[in-house]
Structure 1
Amino acid sequence: MASKLKVATCSLAGCFGCHMSLLDIDERLLDLLEVVEFDRSPINDLKRIEGMVDLGLIEGGLCNAENVHVLRHFREHCRILVSVGECAVTGGVPSMRNHYTLRECLDEAYIRGVGVENAQIPSDPELPLLLDKLRPLHEVVRIDYYLPGCPPSAEAFWHFLTELIAGRDPSLPLQLLRYD
């Protein structure tokens, strides 16, 4: 490969477990770094993608306006965009709030919650505007590939990335899918 594949990652409304699985490829990270250069990611703490990157990996669903802004920025700056993990693919556990109105969720957390003192719903203009429902990524932008799992295993990440780097369509064998 003449130049390294530029990769950007981020976590939206989720638990960060997918990033932990990526790190669980352990010493193979060194092999990956031979052919991959990380742009925006928690590894280097960059907040924006500068220019274009080859591959964007996004975990987590969309729960607020900032998540939507970050997702659209990724779509605009990533040649290939991958929805990683169940929160990104389907909404996952965070989408359980979709069975209630946003007002009911806020009241439960900030007004009626255990140990709540001086009960009030935060209204600081610095806080991102919450969406009425949590959404999976494909409802807002075009997604090129899906890496399912909760979280996808390190083996699934390794298989997916090495197939993609080799220029092959990264379909996952059934035995690599897991939902813990």
Structure 2
Amino acid sequence: MSTTNKITVATTWLDGCSGCHMSFLDMDERLIELAQKIDIVYSPLVDAKELPEQVDVGILEGSISSDDDLEKAKAFRQHCKLLISLGDCAVNGNVPAMRNQFKLSDVMDRAYRENVTLQPQIPNREVPALLKTVKPIHGEVRVDVFIPGCPPSADAIWHVLNELIEGRVPDPSSVTRFGA
């Protein structure tokens, strides 16, 4: 716990659609109640630009598809006491992992050469290098809690966070499932 007796929470998204963060925001007025119990110390939803040294709960959305995603997942595992894999992309790779059935070079050619009419070229600047295969979060780092769903509902996220706040081990399968 942090010194303010609030749980510190960090979130980020990797390769995915950010729909899980939208579900987080769908807690609507419950966010006010949640704000009394947690401090969001790092997230695309807040201004903080640096992941603190020590965070109580880390929430990762999306799959690991690039060097950048892998760096973020490793940093979250290093700095977060408890790590949550949020959504089907984080839990099993989901849509981003559909490219795993193809060679990466074929995927790149299709996306950046075959389907482009103006200056077809594979990007090589300011774009994170793609990994050969897409992996779920637990394919690279240890995960403590898995919340499936595409996206998980605001109610499921609310349930899991409240269980953690109360010091209980959440059972996400009681409130969500894959694709729900």
Contact preservation (8 Å) 2:156, 2:175 = no
CA-CA distance at 1:46 after TM superposition: 2.6
Q: Aligned residues: percent identity?
A: 44
CA-CA distance at 1:47 after TM superposition: 3.1
Contact preservation (8 Å) 2:14, 2:61 = yes
Aligned counterpart in structure 2 of residue 97 of structure 1, from 91, 96, 99: 99
- Does 2:111 correspond to 1:109? yes
How many matched pairs? 178
Distance 1:178 1:118 in 2: 40
CA-CA distance at 1:121 after TM superposition: 1.0
Length-normalised TM-score, structure 2? 0.94
Contact preservation (8 Å) 1:6, 1:36 = yes
Distance 1:122 1:147 in 2: 34
Segments of 4+ moved more than 2 angstroms: 45-48, 172-178
Aligned pairs (5 A) from 1:1-180: 3-113=5-115, 115-124=116-125, 126-177=126-177, 179-180=179-180
Letter in 2 for 1:154: A
Length-normalised TM-score, structure 1? 0.94
CA-CA distance at 1:119 after TM superposition: 1.2
Distance 1:56 1:69 in 2: 14
Identify unmatched segments of 5+ residues in structure 2. Answer: none
Q: Secondary structure at the match of 2:12?
A: strand
Summarize the Cα distance change of 1:178–1:24 in structure 2 as closer, same or farther, 3 Å threshold. Answer: farther
CA-CA distance at 1:173 after TM superposition: 4.8
Q: CA RMSD in A?
A: 1.5
CA-CA distance at 1:56 after TM superposition: 0.2
Distance 2:123 2:29 in 1: 43
Identify unmatched segments of 5+ residues in structure 1. Answer: none
